[in-house]
Amino acid sequence: MIRSFGMIDIFYLLAAARWTIMLTVVAFLGASLVGITIAVFRVVPFWPLRWFAVGYIQVVQGTPLLVWLFGLYFGLSILGFPVNPWFAAAVAFSAYGGAFLGEIWRGALVSIAKTQWEAGASLGLSFFEQLRYVIVPQSVRVAIPPTVGFLVQLIKNTSLAATIGLVELTREGQLTSAATFRPFVVYLTVAALYFLMCFPLTQWSRSLERKLHGAR
């Protein structure tokens, strides 16, 4: 039975947006753990770890995110390990995002002048002590704006989770469109909700970039 698009549908879309935000938070936390590991591996003076990190980045960034989602959700099920959409999406976004955050944070680490490393070494600090006390505190200022920018992209990329049945904002939009036959109004509302989630972060990222650039 076809019904009109009304407030109840907007309520459902808002409710689904909660899952988009939750998936973003979980994925960002997971991607941060992977990203920190990859960034450290890229700068340690131990070539096997550096090559492992490079290989991970090349493989992950060279593979579409949709392939990771399908591989985890459908692939594991075929092998006899059924997983729920939440788990598959969280792992896929964490693994995928970790490669990008790893590169962002590695770039922030290597942007610090070599003399800062030498100064830490002259004080008798170990490699990891140099990272903790000298390099990381300075690189955070460089890393924050692109990290926030990546978070905005992550929010939008969570829409791909709809392809494996996870009912987040985009999937709820599909269901609402099928029930109301008002795709233009439905997806316009969906777009507006994504905009409301992303625009404040975009403005914050630009503001941070201006402030931190001016503070150099």
Check residues 81 and 30 and name the one with the higher pLDDT. Answer: 30
Domains of the chain (ranges plus CATH)? 7-214 (1.10.3720.10)
CA atoms of 175 and 172, how far apart (whole Å): 5
- List pLDDT tens digits, range 193-205: 999 999 998 888 7
CA atoms of 53 and 144, how far apart (whole Å): 22
Q: Which residues contact 60 (CB under 8 A, 6 or more apart)?
A: 68, 95, 96, 98, 99
Evaluate if residue 104 carries a pLDDT over 90.
yes
Lowest mean pLDDT among 60-64, 89-93, 120-124: 120-124
Confidence bin at 111 (pLDDT 50/70/90): confident
Evaluate if residue 214 carries a pLDDT over 60.
no
Instruction: Decide if 191 contacts 56 (C-beta within 8 A).
Output: no
Percent of the chain past pLDDT 70, that is, above it, reads 96
Give the mean model confidence (pLDDT) for residues 3-25: 91
Full-prediction pTM beyond 0.75? Answer: yes
